[in-house]
Amino acid sequence: SSDDLKVNEKTTVAELAAVLHSQAQSGKGPSHRRTETKGFAFHSSESKQPRVFCKLELDAEEHPYFRRVWFGRHRLDENSPLLTQAAKERIKMNGGYWPADMNNYQTIKKSLHFRHILVNMNGTSNANAMTVYAQKVYDLVDVNIGYRFVPMNYHDDNGVLKTDSYLLNAVCQQRGGGAEPFY
């Protein structure tokens, strides 16, 4: 069974997802809240470290009830498993703040130390109170420094809230400029 799987450097994303799904179904997984999110970082293939599965801390771990939009943000600080050891040390020496000389897309990209991030989400459907699941794997190439997602929700002429699904992965440059170019 998937509960007997030992997670190691040869574990596939599909196997890991099966274990998490099985644990969530059986109640053996993490404490059950109405909505949970889990992220796991995989170190790069060039790393001398083995693959590491760890929870990413988010600024808002739970969905704000009755809100339509939820932003999951992970702070890149001296405790982030997504950063190189050198970047963590620089942040620590700078009093916990990102050093100004590292505040450009080239240095930020070089400071990232992961290959994939697996995001699993589960929650309760408003339509039928059933548990629903979603999963997405992000690769380092999916990371766009200096961009943010565009708003997807809007009100139509009758005031009904709508979502434009074509904008799901659309981004625009953040304020302040300095974004990496798209080729």
Tokens, residue 8: 């190691």
In the prediction, which pLDDT does 183 show? 74
3-class SS of residue 90: helix
The Cα–Cα gap between 99 and 73 comes to: 20
Which pLDDT belongs to residue 11? 60
What's residue 106's pLDDT?
93
- 83: helix, strand or coil: strand
* Average pLDDT by stretches of 10, the chain with 183 residues: 53 62 58 39 50 74 62 86 94 95 93 87 83 88 88 90 86 87 82
Q: What is the pLDDT of residue 33?
A: 36
Q: What pLDDT is stored for residue 141 in this prediction?
A: 85
What residues pair up with 37 in beta bridges, in sequence order?
Answer: 121
Q: Which residues of 53-88 are buried (b: 16+ CB within 10 A; e: fewer)?
A: beebebeeeebeeeeeeeeeeeebeeebbbbbeebb
